[in-house]
Structure 1
Amino acid sequence: MITNCKTDFSDIVIQPGIMSDPTPSHINQSGQIKSVSYDEFVKSLKASNPDFLVNAISSGLDNTSGKYSEAALDAGCSFFNATSSKTVTDKTKKAFETKGLMILGDDLMSQFGGTAFHRGMIDFMTNRGIKIQKAYQLDVGGNQDTMNTMAEEIREKKRSAKTESIAIEAPYPFKSTAGTTEYAEQLGESRVSYYWMEAKGFLGSTIEMDLSLRTNDSTNGCNVIVDSLRAAKHILTKKDLTKTDIISAYAFKNPTKRMHIRECIKSFEDAFLI
């Protein structure tokens, strides 16, 4: 067994959270659900006094994600939405910023996951003068979040967000589909992404790319969360919220202000690397 972290976190207190959506049937059958009222959660949040509330619950629990963002605002802490639920709007940004807080999101883009890799490939091919004609990305995973994504409504929402995130990298439209297609329990925390692209090179010559990428879903996202929270803490300390959009563009698939992947990495480094 590979151990990614050897630090002892045995003194951490696990407390129940909010549940404002119908419990998915496959979770309900396990008998592991315990939740508290909104007021009880806000009270516990105020007692712990965090700088940030990080929302990393399962996909599709939109009402619950919304309640968590409201709880963060009521408790006086900033909010980081790693889920695909839409929580960051002009209205919510203004509400948080009025209190000197920030809301970051939506839909975490992993350090070297399917979307980041796909965007990087399109950026590279475009900059080398290759014109992409068609592309798809199919993801298969074995964790709880992938299982939740199998609900068609959730799958379609995540597919749309991924496809839009990828499409920004080319200066022209092309036929593209990206999204989770299957849950395979035997993969555990692994995620396998399959890519296919058809493009045109010099004198219209055909180029095809067909490959796969396998990563650990959980650890692949942690680096981005840590870097983003460190950057966010820095600008909160400086009381300068003008760089919030830079963090969201760097860390998420569906920010309010999108940037090309090369641009968002450079903007993040220029703003926060000392």
Structure 2
Amino acid sequence: MTLTLDNAAPVTTAAPSAQRRAPRWRGPALGLLLPLTVAVGWEAAVYLGWSNGRLVPPPSRVFSTITELARTGELTRHVAATLGRVAAGFGLGVLSGTLLGAVAGYWSLARRLLDSTVQALRAIPSIAWVPLFILWLGIFETSKVALIAVGVFFPVYLGVMGAIRSVDRKIVEVGRAFRLSGPAMIRRILLPAVLPAYVLALRVGLGLGWMFVVAAEFMGASEGLGFLLIDGQQLGKPAQIVAAIVIFAVLGKTTDWLIEIATLPLLRWQDAFGRHDGET
């Protein structure tokens, strides 16, 4: 685009879309820099004899443990069990949190009735739910999924309710001036305004779901990554414990990335700072 002023040379400005962007691989590469540096440093420390690596095994030993678990088929079985529990709990938590959060955010009477109780329940530690869920639902899958759903519910509820309440009143007044119906107001005004905060709430809820699945799999599970942690502790296998932690980290980051990628088309309208600093 060219701007011309009186008695001045033309001034050329580049549109934001034409600005040079960083390569797409740059962000993930920089994100891997820190963990790879720490891993190489610890491997070198054990190799040079600065540590015996007994309690904190080097990455090579952890990698060999993961390889052995994959070879025997145990890794696939444990990962599938944990992923299934997280998926089921995440789905239930998102559904209930979205519905109640939307009702509490849109309807002030419902908020006054619900919010105090929800906030009180949110302060209860996750481990406190374990004996109650075992008593109510038994020690099998239902209680584990319910515990994960509890962890996912609260951030989604708070994110949806807070996002609806923080919608600019002037935007709502514009919708009323155009005589939009209730469903049209939600679809054309509230939903786009709420989406950025909702996506963030989903990501926070997913992170808590991965945390709660560990507590859930402590409840008498015979398979899952939480079971690998307990088994490694009882048998004195620190490499297996660290391997399970690494797998948790990889799965958590991968699922978070999938949510980010899946919701990216819904947020392309944003002219936010983070979209012009080289991130993708």
Into which bin does the TM-score normalised by the smaller protein fall? under 0.3
Q: Which has the higher contact order (CA 8 A, sep 6+)?
A: 2
Bigger CA radius of gyration = 2
TM-score, scaled to structure 2:
0.23
TM-score, scaled to structure 1:
0.23
Which structure: greater strand fraction?
1
